[in-house]
Copies of this chain bind each other. A is one copy, B any other.
Amino acid sequence: MFTGLSAFPLTPFRGEKIDEKAFGGIIRRLAQAQVDSIGVLGSTGSYMYLDREERRRAVELASAHAGSTPVIAGIGALRTRDVLALAEDAQAAGASGVLLAPVSYQPLTEDETFSLYEQVSRELSVPLCVYDNPRTTKFTFTDELHGRIAALPNVGSIKIPGVPDDPAKARQRIQRLRSQIPGHVTIGVSGDRFAAAGINAGCDGWYSVLGGLFPRTCREIVQAASSGRYPEAAALSDRLEPLWSLFDRFGSLRPAAAIAIQLGLMEGPGLPLPLAPLPPSELKEIADLLDSLE
Shortest Cβ distance from A252 into B: residue: B106
Name the distance in Å between A217's Cβ and chain B's nearest Cβ.
Answer: 24
Shortest Cβ distance from A15 into B: residue: B81
Name the distance in Å between A116's Cβ and chain B's nearest Cβ.
Answer: 4
Interface status of A122 (Cβ within 8 A of chain B): no
Interface status of A166 (Cβ within 8 A of chain B): no
Name A258-279 residues within 8 Å CB distance of B: 272-276
Interface status of A121 (Cβ within 8 A of chain B): no
User: Does B48 lie within 8 Å of A105, measured CB to CB?
Assistant: yes
Interface status of A176 (Cβ within 8 A of chain B): no
Q: Please report the C-alpha to C-alpha distance between residue A109 and residue B49 in the assembled complex, in whole angstroms.
A: 16
Name the distance in Å between A114's Cβ and chain B's nearest Cβ.
Answer: 9
Q: Please report the C-alpha to C-alpha distance between residue A79 and residue B49 in the assembled complex, in whole angstroms.
A: 6
Interface string of A71-105 (1 = CB under 8 A from B): 00000001111000000000000000000001101
Interface status of A294 (Cβ within 8 A of chain B): no
Interface status of A155 (Cβ within 8 A of chain B): no
Residues from chain B with Cβ under 8 Å of A138 in the complex: 138
Answer whether A108 and B48 are a contact pair too, CB < 8 Å, given A16-B81, A81-B16, A138-B138: no
Secondary structure type dominating chain A contacts: loop
Interface status of A112 (Cβ within 8 A of chain B): yes
- List 10 A–B pairs whose Cβ atoms lie within 8 Å, in order of A's numbering: A48-B78, A48-B105, A79-B272, A80-B272, A80-B273, A81-B272, A106-B254, A111-B276, A112-B274, A112-B276
User: Does A136 lie within 8 Å of B106, measured CB to CB?
Assistant: yes
Name A103-139 residues within 8 Å CB distance of B: 103, 105-109, 111-113, 115-116, 119, 136, 138
Q: Please report the C-alpha to C-alpha distance between residue A292 and residue B133 in the assembled complex, in whole angstroms.
A: 43
User: Does B116 lie within 8 Å of A274, measured CB to CB?
Assistant: yes
User: Does A109 lie within 8 Å of B276, measured CB to CB?
Assistant: yes
Name A7-30 residues within 8 Å CB distance of B: 16
Interface status of A209 (Cβ within 8 A of chain B): no
